[in-house]
Amino acid sequence: MRRILSLILCGMLMMSLLSGCGQSSTNAKNEGASDLESVTVDIFQNKSEVAQQLEAAAKTYMEANPGVVINIETVQGNDYNTALKAKMLVNDAVDIMALGANDIVNNYKDYLEDLSDQPWLANVSDGLLEDAKLEGKVVGLPVNIEGYGIAYNKAIFSAAGIDASKLTSYDAIDQAFSDLQQKIDSGALKAEFPQLESVFEYAAKESWVMGLHTLNIPMANELGSAKAALEADEIELKYSNEFKDLLTLLTQYTSSKEDLKLLLAVDYSTQIGGGLAIERVAAVQQGNWIGPEVKSISPEVYENLDFLPLPLKGVKEDSIAVGVPAYWCVNKNADEATKKAAKDFMNWLYQSDEGKSIVVNQLGYIPAFKNYDGVEITDPLSASIQRYVREGKTMPWVFGGFPSGYEGQSASDIQAYIGGETTWDECIQALKDDWKALKK
């Protein structure tokens, strides 16, 4: 009887298993064969400051979509472009990549999937897709809106008796920095800010800080748009004197002011994690992307951050630079199941209620979409950028149209000047010559 009972139970179990498998096959077939497969989406991106937050977002998505694996690889700065090219040359898997205007038009156009039918398209803010089009087709989702200027610690400026609301010109900012440095040197702020040693820190080691962001200030006022930069075979650098003044403002109040060669060793981590976030310095040239890192180190400092203008003396002084830093693009050479999963992840992250909250509150992004009305921007730097945008005090990002390789070349030219290897006139000529050479 025990053997018979065992056989009956085994038979019932097998029938149950077969029934369950048959039901799963039916459901999967109705949903599409790709849903049965284990799909892996490889994302290659260039923002180390949000790497952990993006990985957390991917984990949230995967928990709701167990058939999909999202891998995220992050490479910062100019190394990103080199690494991406290498991956493409050896056919390494990159399914979603972050690309700027120049890369979309000139370097990766044969890899880009047409995204013109995607649901998110109807909600993009006006004017943000021009740099993401090929032959009239949209090939990129705007990652976010970003802005950069002089990020500063309001508490330090207030303790020094400086009214930051009046710092709307080059001369006013220069005078405020001078006054603040005198108070730091005298020890007047030592009790409240024991680690404070200088007003400013400038990450001269980072090619993107000098070769893109600082150089963009005179170039934005000369060219006006990334499209104009893409079309320009030569540059005049007609605001070269004002550019020199700007570099002086950004370097003469650092702890390296007596020997500017020392600035060439200052990287992003030293500037932010070892500088602004621990109140070793009061201000830096950076953008709203620094928020997550500063918050992870000191929530109190994070809450005290705001922006001052990045002034081009006598040209445009009360403005910050605002633009779309990159676009998420899908590799059209990936298989259909992978492309489907990639597009679904992008739609979920930017258009679902859960994703919108992550974009604003975890990634600290200013959304490039109009349908975020119910999501409050809590990041103080992002809120500051929105204020500048509303007041019309912005200049464009034109570095998206810089020639391929110009970031590294232009940074090297400026570094040579800061390091005392060349004169200013030689630096300007090198910047012009490198542009022309890379355009050939």
pLDDT tens string 346-365 = 999 999 999 999 999 899 89
pLDDT band at 1 (very low <50, low <70, confident <90, very high): very low
Structure tokens of 81?
């472009």
In the predicted model, is pLDDT for residue 325 greater than 80? yes
Position 35 scores a pLDDT of: 52
The mean pLDDT value for 96-118 works out to 91
What amino acid is encoded at 406 in this protein? Y
385: left (phi over 0), alpha (psi -120 to 50) or beta: alpha
Cα 365 to the chain's mean position, in Å? 9
Q: Which residues of 229-250 are buried (b: 16+ CB within 10 A; e: fewer)?
A: bbebeebebebbebbbbbbebb
In the predicted model, is pLDDT for residue 278 greater than 90? yes
In the predicted model, is pLDDT for residue 3 greater than 50? no
Greater confidence (113 vs 6) lies with: 113
Greater confidence (159 vs 405) lies with: 159
Q: Which domains occur in the chain, in start order? A: 36-145+325-371 (3.40.190.10), 146-323+383-439 (3.40.190.10)
State how far the Cα of 120 lies from the Cα of 350, in Å rounded to an integer: 8
The mean pLDDT value for 23-35 works out to 32
| Entry pTM | 0.75
In the predicted model, is pLDDT for residue 143 greater than 90? yes
**In DSSP terms, which residues pair with 200 in a beta bridge?**
254, 283
What distance, in Å, lies between the first and last C-alpha atoms of the chain? 89
DSSP state of 398: -
State how far the Cα of 130 lies from the Cα of 140, in Å rounded to an integer: 10
The answer to which of 165-169, 316-320, 367-371 has the lowest mean pLDDT is 367-371
Please name which of 328, 330, 400 lies closest in space to residue 106, comparing C-alpha atoms. Answer: 400
DSSP labels, 96-129: EEEE-HHIIIIISGGGBPP-TT-GGGGGBPTT-S
State how far the Cα of 216 lies from the Cα of 147, in Å rounded to an integer: 12
pLDDT band at 28 (very low <50, low <70, confident <90, very high): very low
Angle (CA) 31-34-35 rounded to 5° is: 55
The residue length of the chain stands at 440
DSSP state of 214: I
The mean pLDDT value for 278-294 works out to 96
**SS3 of residue 183 by DSSP:** helix
Average pLDDT, rounded, for the chain: 90
Structure tokens of 352?
């679902």
pLDDT band at 73 (very low <50, low <70, confident <90, very high): very high
pLDDT tens string 364-422 = 899 999 899 888 888 999 999 988 988 889 999 999 899 989 999 999 999 999 999 99
The mean pLDDT value for 68-84 works out to 90
State how far the Cα of 188 lies from the Cα of 194, in Å rounded to an integer: 10
- Helices and strands per DSSP (H, E), number in the chain: 18, 13
Identify whether the C-beta of residue 348 lies closer than 8 Å to the C-beta of residue 120: no
**In DSSP terms, which residues pair with 201 in a beta bridge?**
284
